[in-house]
Amino acid sequence: MIKVNLLGAPKAKKVKKASRVQSQLVAGITILVVLLLVAAYGWYWLNGRISTLTEEKTKKEKELALLKDKVKEVENLENLKKTLQEKVKIIDQLKKNQSGPVHLLDELAKDLPDRVWLVSLNEQNGNVDLDGKAMSNSEIVTFVSNLARTPMFSGIQLLESRAGTEANTEVFSFKIKFQYKPVV
């Protein structure tokens, strides 16, 4: 009789199961290896990027330090320029102030009649106070008129005029106040 083995089919399932497990294991290992390769490449790429950025940062810090030095140098130059401008301004003001009293005295000398003389002169910020003496009141009036015709003088006021004697001679003392504006 011929014997037919009907139980052979289950053994084929075990082989198929084993080959299926084996192929899944190979696929899993392959995926794991690919993932490891991707992770290694990512790590390598990130390390390269980090070193590139670190070098770039170092360059930028050096540039920043150089620029800070330049900024400090520019600030120093600006401060020096400002100081020099202030000094020039002071020198110009001193020159202007230096010539001011000369012009004031020159104009007063031009306006002063022969028998009138000044005892004191005080000038502050363009305000002038004069004390003087004259031989007559008419000479004082002439002096005030001469001052009024001078364009540098304004607001002329004769504050007082007093008669007195000096060395047995009649002398008139006077006080005048006015503003002095030099013509530039």
pTM of the entire predicted model? 0.49
In a domain, 119, yes or no: yes
146 contact partners, CB below 8 Å, separation of at least 6:
110, 111, 112, 113
Domain that includes residue 35, residue range? 12-48
User: Do 105 and 175 fall within a single domain?
Assistant: yes
In a domain, 56, yes or no: no
User: Do 106 and 173 fall within a single domain?
Assistant: yes
Mean pLDDT by groups of 10 residues along the chain of 184 residues: 64 64 90 94 94 95 94 94 93 74 82 90 88 92 91 90 88 93 70
In a domain, 84, yes or no: no
149 contact partners, CB below 8 Å, separation of at least 6:
111
- Give residue 96's pLDDT: 73
In a domain, 3, yes or no: no
- Give residue 132's pLDDT: 94
In a domain, 160, yes or no: yes
- Give residue 21's pLDDT: 83
In a domain, 79, yes or no: no
- Give residue 47's pLDDT: 94
Please state, in angstroms and rounded to a whole number, the distance separating the CA atoms of residues 131 and 114. 16
Please state, in angstroms and rounded to a whole number, the distance separating the CA atoms of residues 176 and 156. 7
In a domain, 158, yes or no: yes
In a domain, 69, yes or no: no
Please state, in angstroms and rounded to a whole number, the distance separating the CA atoms of residues 162 and 2. 172
CATH of the domain at 157: 3.30.1360.100
- Give residue 91's pLDDT: 87
Structural domain total, the chain = 2
- Give residue 99's pLDDT: 59
- Give residue 166's pLDDT: 86
Q: Indicate the helix (H) or strand (E) that contains 160.
A: strand 153-166
State how far the alpha carbon of 56 is from the alpha carbons of 44, 52, 59, in Å: 18, 6, 5
- Give residue 52's pLDDT: 94
